[in-house]
Amino acid sequence: MENATILRHIIEERRSIFPKDYSDKEIPHHIIDEILSNAVLAPNHKRTKPWRFKVFKGNKKQNLGEELQKIYKETTADFQFLQKKYDDIGFKISKANVVISIMVEFSGLVPDWEEIAATSMAVQNMYLTCTAHRIGCYWSSPKLVNHLKDALKIEDNQQCLGLFYLGSLE
């Protein structure tokens, strides 16, 4: 197939696929590496490379899920708290094989929106690489991530833009 046809096919095939549809199959290490190394090929103004990704697997992923549940409990008034939502946070994290935190670092060399745009393009590269490998993924951007400053060791010139969930589909 011609490159342009393959590219069009992958772009068309790309979907946000949610953790409930992921299988238990492990995503091989080299594919995670490929997803990240394709991410960082995204265009970025003045070569600021503003994306910062952290990969969570196994116990670290479990701890992240517990932290998100704790944040949900602490930031939600009792009368608004939903046990289903609390459980769902844990379910999504445990069903995903890998979770990647999406962060941007503002260099001050270019407008902040350009750093967010470049980081978003890096995420699109991750989406497309996942599609090519039949890995389900989606970008989740709940308000809860604004409270992950300590857990993710986010610096003052950085911002968390969400979490990228990944899981095999086969």
Ligand X SMILES: Cc1cc2nc3c(=O)[nH]c(=O)nc-3n(C[C@H](O)[C@H](O)[C@H](O)COP(=O)(O)O)c2cc1C
Site string for ligand X, 15-54 (x = CB under 6 A): xx--------------------------------------
DSSP notation for 24-59? SPPPPHHHHHHHHHHHTTS--GGG---EEEEEE-HH
140 near ligand X (CB under 6 A): yes
Binder of ligand X out of 72, 106, 138, 164 (CB under 6 A): 138
Q: Which two tokens stand for residue 152?
A: 């993710």
Does 142 bind ligand X (CB under 6 A)? Our answer is: yes
Q: Return the number of the residue (21 or 26) whose C-beta is nearest ligand X.
A: 21
Q: Is 55 exposed, middle or buried, given 0-12, 13-18 or 19+ CB atoms closer than 10 A?
A: middle
The string of DSSP letters for 59-72 reads HHHHHHHHHHHHHH
Residue 85 interacts with ligand X (CB under 6 A): yes or no: no
| Selected range binding ligand X among 1-9, 34-42, 44-52, 138-146, rule: CB under 6 A | 138-146
DSSP 101: E
| Minimum separation from the CB atom of position 136 to ligand X (A) | 10
Q: Which residue ranges make up the site for ligand X (CB under 6 A)?
A: 15-16, 138-142, 162
